[in-house]
């Protein structure tokens, strides 16, 4: 064996070892076989991808938007959080069903979801696309008739930007539009979406937040952030919310 043949053999062996190493360190494929079938179907929905200033940059599946591996690379999407108060100024909360892929069983505000990459929900003037999406999801999750939650009845207050892991695989990274509404509505919740629901006073919510700190119940991270910063100030001024409308700034949380 001459020196040239020797080095050819070494190069082949090294190439095999490198390919083997690449194979062994490749991330495993994310499987959804163990998850709720209806919730897995929703993972195919197309969310609106945005940059950190909430400018549209594309679209991707709900699944890809909620994988921590992608979130860690900066993937960010548009979302909304609805707060509905009744005539007694009590806030409607939901407890997410155990079937939910992110934050199952957690208590949260009335409705939290995403506008989709469709013509009607992409429209940005006065956040009309987001408000249409909220109307759609209020009906889908809580069974509220769509004519009881029209977009023009929703007050768009501001936006928050947050990131949170649900578990080792799934998480959230959103710019979240905050929508307020005061109205008595009919409810017929979908059990695949909602485990329970209740109306709470400010005092009752404060007690729930204390219980969450003691690990006696779980609250979604976005609802906890909003409750600890802006919520009670807004709640005290349900009849005068215009003073808090801020459509220029995004609150980083």
Query: Which residues belong to the active site?
Result: 112, 174
Q: What is the C-alpha to C-alpha distance for residues 73 and 207, in angstroms, rounded to an integer?
A: 37
What's the alpha-carbon Rg for the chain, to the nearest Å?
23
Report the candidate in 253, 236, 229 with the shortest Cα–Cα distance to residue 91.
Answer: 236
- 180/238 Cα distance (integer angstroms): 9
* Structure-block tokens of residue 94: 């939901």
Q: Which helix (H) or strand (E) is 5 found in, with range?
A: helix 3-25
B/e letters for 100-123, b = 16+ CB within 10 Å, e = fewer, are: bbbbbebbbbbbbbbbbbeeebbe
Q: Is residue 73 exposed (0-12), middle (13-18) or buried (19+ Cβ within 10 Å)?
A: exposed
Q: What residues does 162 pair with on adjacent strands?
A: 174
In this structure, the number of other CB atoms found within 10 A of the CB of residue 124 comes to: 15
CA 180, CA 187: separation in Å to the nearest integer? Answer: 17
DSSP of 187-217? ----TTTEEEEEEE-HHHHHHHHHHHHTTSS
């Amino acid at each position: 064996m001459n020196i040239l043949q020797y080095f050819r053999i070494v190069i082949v062996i090294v190439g095999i070892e490198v390919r083997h190493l690449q194979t062994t360190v490749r991330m495993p494929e994310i499987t959804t076989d163990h998850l709720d079938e209806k919730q897995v179907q929703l993972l195919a929905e197309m969310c609106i991808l945005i940059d950190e200033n909430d400018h549209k940059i594309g679209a991707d599946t709900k699944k890809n938007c909620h994988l921590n591996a992608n979130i860690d690379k900066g993937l960010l999407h548009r979302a909304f959080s609805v707060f509905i108060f009744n005539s007694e100024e009590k806030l409607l909360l939901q407890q997410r069903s155990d079937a939910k892929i992110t934050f199952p069983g957690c208590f949260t505000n009335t409705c939290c979801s995403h506008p989709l990459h469709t013509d009607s929900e992409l429209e940005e003037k006065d956040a009309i696309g987001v408000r249409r999406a909220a109307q759609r999801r209020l009906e889908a999750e809580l069974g509220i008739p769509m004519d009881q939650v029209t977009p023009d009845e929703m007050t768009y207050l501001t936006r928050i930007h947050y990131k949170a892991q649900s578990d080792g695989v799934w998480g959230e990274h959103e710019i979240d539009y905050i929508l307020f509404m005061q109205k008595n509505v009919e409810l017929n919740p979908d059990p695949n979406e909602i485990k329970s629901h209740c109306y709470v006073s400010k005092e009752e919510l404060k007690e729930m937040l204390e219980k969450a700190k003691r690990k006696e119940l779980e609250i979604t991270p976005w609802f906890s952030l909003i409750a600890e910063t802006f919520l009670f100030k807004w709640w005290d001024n349900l009849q005068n919310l215009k003073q808090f409308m801020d459509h220029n700034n995004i609150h980083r949380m």
